[in-house]
A and B are shown apart, each in its own frame.
Chain A
Amino acid sequence: MKVIEKTTLIGKRIAKLDAPEKASGKTRYVHDLDLPGQLYGRILRSPRVHARIRRIDVAKARALPGVHAVLTAADVPYQRPLGVGKDQLPLKGDKVRSRRDEIAAVAAETEEIAAAALALIEVDYEDLPPLTDPAEALKPGAPVIHDEKTAAPAPHESLKPGEPGDAEAHRHNVAMTFDYAQGDVAVGEAESDVIVDDWFRLHYVTHCCLGVSGIIAEFDSSGNLTLHSNTQVPFLHKREFAEILGMDPGRIRIIQPPIGGGFGSKLDIYPFEPICVFLAKATGRPVKLVFSREEEFVASPTRQPVLLRLRSGAKKDGTLTFRTCETLHDNGAYTSWGATTPFVMMQTISSLYRVPHCKYHTTAVYTNNPYAGSFRGYGNLQATFAVEQQMDKLAAALGLDPLEMRLRNAQDPGETTQQGMHFKTCGLKECLTTAAAASHWREQHLAAIAAQKTPGRFKRGVGMASMLHVGGGAKIYPSDGCGTILKLDDFAHITLMTGASEIGQGSETVLAQLVCEELGIPLDAVTVVNNDTDITPWDVGVHASRTTFIGGNSALGAARKAKVKILAAAAKVTGVPEAELELRSGHIVHAASGEAIMSLAKLLRSLHFSDKAELVMTTHYYEPPSQHQDKAFKGDVSAAYAWATQVVEVEVDTETGIVKLVKVTGAHDVGRVLNRLGIEGQIEGGIVMGQGYAITEELIVQDGVVRNPGFRDYKLVTAPEIPEMDIHFIETMDGEGPQGAKGVGEAPAICIAAATANAIANATGVRIYELPFTPEKVYRALHAASAAVEPT
């Protein structure tokens, strides 16, 4: 008898299942799809920042040969407000509030004709005073951006009553406010031996997905709508589209072609999507609408710019005493997810370290600027930038090593924070010590301080930062669930139908791995179907680093059901008790000896010819053991939390201000490594995205106008600029995670800016409170007489 050794896929370097198609150029993204009879949609956008629309004349555009439809707000009286804040219509009829606002849309036989038609549309505007500074927008007498006398729009289902959509608040340009408190800050202040108080300014960046936004909409003859869409939340968008279009959600099918980058940008619904549907409806033809790169820069969301004041205190021994944080979020003209990032920011303020007393307040303010959406890390980059700089400042004031300062305040496993977050696993201390040891932290840090005053053009320094982020789903919506259907065929091939979306991060491969591990089958025996709302079960979407954890647990549940069924059948057929059987390499084997008894394919085939086979399993992973935050933002938002420490080594050219990232040493508590190749890729990519945020990237918005809408002037990091990376995984084996894993997608981008700020301070003695660290900014800081010099 053949003996089959026990093998495992967990922790191995597994190539992504979708990689061969992508590497050979065969993958069909939405841009690559064309439907028979398809027309091309284009949108006319406002050239004004803030203006009333006096008149729109589309007669000439309609008369152009090849034009099938020209639509303005007047043509779609049925349109409803969209997005998180429900504070904008897809097509604007009365007023424009930002440069990207949609005025009219064209469907034509070619893109060229559509573009020519746009040029023929005449619009008269009456300019209104622009408001592009959030502080100005709050002043009494400031122009009002949302001055409609219509009823307050219904807030998004995930938001608590009274926050957004408050008509009275809108009259003061306030989109949302957030308040959180724990303990008594006055007590904390009184106990403090040292207090630091700083302002931090965080800038605009944008996702820069290589694949630009696009959608194809088509109606069938019964009025059913099919969308080929890159959304990250297909099931939620069915309902959103239905509301905006006034149709039955059951008649909407969303097919997701492979997504050319997401990073949070596709979490909300944007005007171009329903506009494309309007065009398809008006013409009776499929309509494809794809952005240009310039449009992508102008009309897709940004990371939210934040002005943040943080005060922190500590006792002589380094124990933190209190924190207060006030932030002003530039919401832009409309409310998308960017306005809600305080949910995440306050967790870092209150719970990254033990802080007995905290007070947090955010005001998100309407301006005529681009509006902010969700972006990998979701506010945590901004909060961590401030918190981790102040940890260093407190350490310096107290004469403590920054590592020691952090270790004295770090969370431990088993703790429940005052905010209510329960850390069943927590590798923060291990992350700190591992990253410090691997980077020779103490020696490097001290050597850099000693060298600050010595002459020399190039200065080296190290900085560290840690982070806390959700790693077991996030209770943002009423459900955080994911469903799975698993089908076993008569050749032992498995089809895994999951609600969880692949966005390039490798979830498809990880889910397949988890199922194969459970059922003892090779990876090539699995097909993953994850892109069609008519086929796959419900899922809340790909965001919040949740897919491996939530989708993984759901897939694992289905595989376990299948395993029970297979082993029961195998016991019956072979006469060997179930407890003595195992599944290995596509065979039923004796667990003790590993001897193969029969092939899985043979067993499954025999079951297909029985009347009780039922070889389709369904499961869901619905309510992880966490709870929604209450109105005071207290509660456990995730079933597990991810932790990390990153140490950044920089070289600062004091004559040019150029900051070079030399090395990043990272230690990440990921629960457990499932696919080593995939998780390394997530972390490396996150580090470089963090590097861009820290040093090279800035969406320059002046007077409401994006001044650098192209890769020529918006500087992404390129290959020669990446740092050396030394990545360590801390495996805390989370009890709730699939095979012990926690989420990791957002974590690696979060610390880099904060750690870089600390490294620049370590190298030069000068601390910079504003991003990005461009040569000009760094040069000015180094050479300004008034530069705040770090006490060392």
Chain B
Amino acid sequence: MTPDRIKPLAQVEATLGTAATVPTVGIAEGGEVQAIASGWRLAVREFADNKIAVVGLGILAFFVLFCFIGPLVHHTNQSLTQPLNANLAPGATSPLGRTAGLLGTDEHGFDELGRIMLGGQTALEIGFFAALISIVIGTLYGAIAGLSGRLLDGVMMRFVDIVYSIPFLFIVLVLATKFSATVVEESLLLGFFSWLVPSRLMRGEVLTLRERDFVWAARVMGSSRTRLVYRHLIPNALSVVIVNVTFLVADSILALAYLGFLGFGLQYPAASWGDMLGNADNYISNGQWWLVYPVGFCLVAVVMACNLVGDALRDAFDVRLRRR
């Protein structure tokens, strides 16, 4: 596969309408000839045939719209605390005569529905950025390890083994006592400790790719190591890594929720879904279900949707499982 045939996924999806039906080019002497779709197009078609995957993608799209477009439609005050409006059940009326919204208000008097939208923004942003950071580090690291000689490869991969054996949540929590106040810090923190799986996947892929004829051809034609990595190895190994991205997003959002629940999340008044669940055990004992279940439901739905999409992507890209 040459690099110019690799299109961004969105662009390929746009042409899905024509790709969904296999066009018959013509009747040759030997029988029907079918156009051979590229690997990416096959993968997209396989993905679109998977009903559960489409549902997962739909859930994700819904939550992105809900969190980022929602606040434009549902205007709420999320900056000025209003103690007199605090802890209102959905539909209850405050001493100020204000009626609480669909999901009530929290202990600062913020509208909970609007708060969930804001918390979702940070959760999705951190999940996405953390996944992006770990993919970039993991891809480059794995490609370099896979390409370099036995000694450097061995040292680099033992380092991965070591970091992988440090319990993720522990080291992230310990560092979160100092660095977890902002979206950027939290993304970096999660990203820096989750690139190990992508780097292993990438290295494995590069090890098989580097013996292929087209890579040898590129070498013989005198391409530099940099060109080899960026033009040939990474694009071809990318499918494996892309499958991993969705799982990384899901894991990052979950880890973020753990940090938030334990009280090492974003600095107030910023909050992610996990931070909003930090006092969930107290809310539940006080009967304030509206501060627990809606947030928890959103969290589980987004993580589950990411996992569903990831599973479907893996099935779609896995050539061995594909129906021809």
Determine if chain A interacts with chain B. Answer: no
